[in-house]
Amino acid sequence: MFDITIAGDGTIRLNGRLDSNQVDMTREILEKVGSTTTVDFAELRYISSAGLGLLLATQKRLNDSGHKLEIVNMTPHIRDIFTIAGFDFIFDIK
Amino acid sequence: MRRNFRRDLESLDGIFTFAGEFESDNGLDDSESYFLDLTLEELFTNLVRHAPGHDEIEIEIELERDLLTIRLTDRETEPFDGNSLGDVDTQKPLMEREPGGLGIYLVKKMADGLDYDYDEGTLVVTARKRLEDK
């Protein structure tokens, strides 16, 4: 089960499990992001390399225009994955 | 537990259900379950995307004392060794990072062993991890 929503303040909320089969839906949303945006991981329970790759591509695209993704409310298991992948260096995690 | 899955990414939901049954039956905690799900997804999608093979891929999961073993068997396929891929350089700056190879890298870092064995058209990928308190 996976869902992605955009709150009134522009925050993107990821809910559930972001696996390889959910990447297309997520890409459709992230491709529309053009400025610094908060991504709320509070309800994200799982992410694999497919989702990580999509976040990486988005961060690189935004970086070209001086913007970025800011990730908030990351759970410990997902923080572990980010650390192993070295993503803790390239994302603003709050 | 052993089950065959169609060689298709749409099999992932069934694979996670299969893994969930194993995790429940064997009392895996959240961290151990995350490892199992991630390993199955990364290894299965890697086989589906990077080599032709038989219509189905066999997945076997077993826990013997504290040793979790995850084994994927792909038949009528070509030689492949994920360990021959270089490690991802996680220290590279953002603009030099590429997503390729990240899945196998994560499994290698989280598992205690990852082996690729190829013999006469059959590729067996085995990941092992020692679980605490089992």
Q: Which two tokens stand for residue A18?
A: 């972001």
Per residue in B24-60, pLDDT (tens digit) is 999 999 999 999 999 999 999 999 988 787 899 999 9
E strand or H helix at A24: helix A23-30
Domain map of chain A by residue range?
A: 2-93
CA distance, residue A48 to nearest chain B CA (Å): 6
Q: Which two tokens stand for residue B16?
A: 């996670």
CA distance, residue A6 to nearest chain B CA (Å): 25
B112, B93 in Cβ contact below 8 A? no
- Cβ–Cβ gap A84/B109 under 8 Å: yes
* Structural domain of B37: 2-130
Counting other chains too, the contacts that B110-119 makes at CB distance below 8 Å and 24 or more residues apart are B110/A84, B110/B35, B110/B38, B110/B39, B111/B35, B111/B39, B114/B82, B114/B83, B115/B83, B116/B80, B116/B81, B116/B82, B116/B83, B118/B79, B118/B80, B118/B81
Q: Are strands B113-119 and B56-64 parallel, antiparallel or unpaired?
A: unpaired
Unique residue bearing structure tokens 């993107």: A12
- Nearest Cα residue in chain B from A77: B31
End-to-end C-alpha distance for chain A, whole angstroms: 25
Dihedral over Cα of A34, A38, A41, A43: its sign: negative
B130, B63 in Cβ contact below 8 A? no
Q: Which of A19, A52, A84 sits opposite B99 (nearest CB)?
A: A52
End-to-end C-alpha distance for chain B, whole angstroms: 18
Q: Which fold has domain A2-93?
A: Transcription Regulator spoIIAA (3.30.750)
3-state SS class at A41 = strand
Interface of B with A in 39-68 (CB under 8 A): 41-42, 45
Percent of chain A with pLDDT over 70: 100
pLDDT-based confidence at residue A1 (cuts at 50, 70, 90): confident
- Nearest Cα residue in chain A from B101: A49
Per residue in B97-129, pLDDT (tens digit) is 988 889 999 999 999 999 999 999 999 999 999
Q: Which residues are A15's β-sheet partners?
A: A3, A43
> Which pLDDT belongs to residue B134?
63
Q: Which CATH number goes with the domain that contains B94? A: 3.30.565.10
Q: What is the ipTM of this complex?
A: 0.94
- Cβ–Cβ gap B30/A77 under 8 Å: yes
Using a 10 angstrom Cβ sphere, with 0-12 exposed, 13-18 middle and 19 or more buried, the burial of residue A68 is middle
B2 touching chain A per CB within 8 A: no
Q: Which of A20, A81, A85 sits opposite B41 (nearest CB)?
A: A20
> Which pLDDT belongs to residue A33?
95
Cα angle: A33, vertex A34, A36; to 5 degrees: 90
Q: Which residues of A37-46 are buried (b: 16+ CB within 10 A; e: fewer)?
A: bbbbbeebbb
- Cβ–Cβ gap A63/B94 under 8 Å: yes
CA distance, residue B99 to nearest chain A CA (Å): 5
Q: How many domains does chain B contain in total?
A: 1
